[in-house]
Amino acid sequence: MTDSARIMTTSSRPLVVALAYDGLCTFEFGVAVEVFGLPRPELGEGWYRFAVASVDQGELRATGGVRIVVDGGYELLQEADTIVIPGWRDVSSPVPEALCDALREAHQRGCRVISICSGVFVLAAAGLLDERKATTHWRYVSELQRRFPAINVVEDVLYVGDHDVLTSAGSAAGIDLCLHVVRTDFGLEIANNVARRLVLQPHRDGSQTQQQLRPVARSRESQRFGLLLDWLHNNINERLNRAQQALNTSHISIEQIAQQTGFGSANSLRYHFQKRFGISPQALRNQMR
């Protein structure tokens, strides 16, 4: 049995297929592997299967001198539940028509497709973003809008899309999008678990700005004052995480959650929640329903 046949038949768990091609964007590909491809026995038997499908024939080289060995080709896209396009080798590089056809067929049968950074140009070439909202790295926004005027390009968000077609901004925003997919498929607690292993904050809302305009804080004035600020910051984070869990698992009011997690009032909780996660408590609760 071939590797691709084994991947498609060994389990009914959802199959995530990441594309690989000559000139692969290593970081974006690594994001897909890190979120979807690592074994996670602590999460039970239902976790994703993961496979890599080649776009090109022959040897595949990735940024940094890496060589890629894949699990199969376009046939893997026929069985995928989610397809990840981890960037594209160059925004001006043509997208193979065979890949466009395979993506259209996969989407038509109900497969979710997501892109990271310049991977949006692959989805655009396949026509899967026409009359939809989409985003990409801020450097490519104008080019995307110029070449594909049927797309509603959203300039300054981390990720955007419907349940079946989603796009992210720059490379790091791909992590936010992939965690959003995990949160959609498995819920808030498991997404937080994955984020914890990545040593990331559990949730950045897709509508957050791509570019950080606020200046980086200056060095703290003394070690003792710095330790105090660290303690206060970490304590708030613990309480925010408890509030986040309560929003997902209980039906009590936001005022009650604020009292239980030590914020004193709903207004205080909203302020710290918006500052930490870029979203209001009620908006997050609505997303999880």
Rounded Cα gap, residues 48 and 241, in angstroms: 25
Residues 66, 13, single domain; the answer is yes
Catalytic residue among 25, 111, 117, 178: 117
Within-domain flag for 179: yes
pLDDT at 1: 41
Domain boundary among 181, 197, 213: 197
Residues 168, 275, single domain; the answer is no
pLDDT at 142: 95
Residues 12, 155, single domain; the answer is yes
**Percent over 90 (pLDDT), the chain:** 57
Is 111 part of the annotated catalytic residue set?
no
Residue range 145-174, pLDDT digits in tens: 999 999 999 988 999 998 899 999 988 899
Residues 189, 242, single domain; the answer is no
Q: Which residues contact 82 (CB under 8 A, 6 or more apart)?
A: 14, 15, 16, 17, 36, 48, 111, 112, 113, 114, 181
CA pseudo-torsion sign 60, 66, 70, 75:
negative
Among 11-20, 89-98, 106-115, the least confident range: 11-20
CA pseudo-torsion sign 237, 238, 242, 243:
negative
Residue range 243-259, pLDDT digits in tens: 888 888 888 999 899 88
263 versus 38: which is more confidently predicted? 38
Rounded Cα gap, residues 128 and 160, in angstroms: 14
pLDDT at 234: 61
Among 41-50, 162-171, 218-227, the least confident range: 218-227
Task: Provide the domain limits for residue 162.
Answer: 3-197
pLDDT at 204: 64
Within-domain flag for 81: yes
Residues 245, 190, single domain; the answer is no
Tell whether the model's pLDDT for residue 104 goes beyond 70. Answer: yes
Residues 51, 192, single domain; the answer is yes
Q: What is the mean pLDDT of the chain?
A: 86
pTM of the model: 0.72
Residues 73, 186, single domain; the answer is yes
152 versus 273: which is more confidently predicted? 152
Across the range 3-10, mean pLDDT stands at: 45
Provide the number of structural domains found in the chain.
Answer: 2
CATH number of the domain at 150, please: 3.40.50.880
Domain boundary among 197, 215, 240: 197
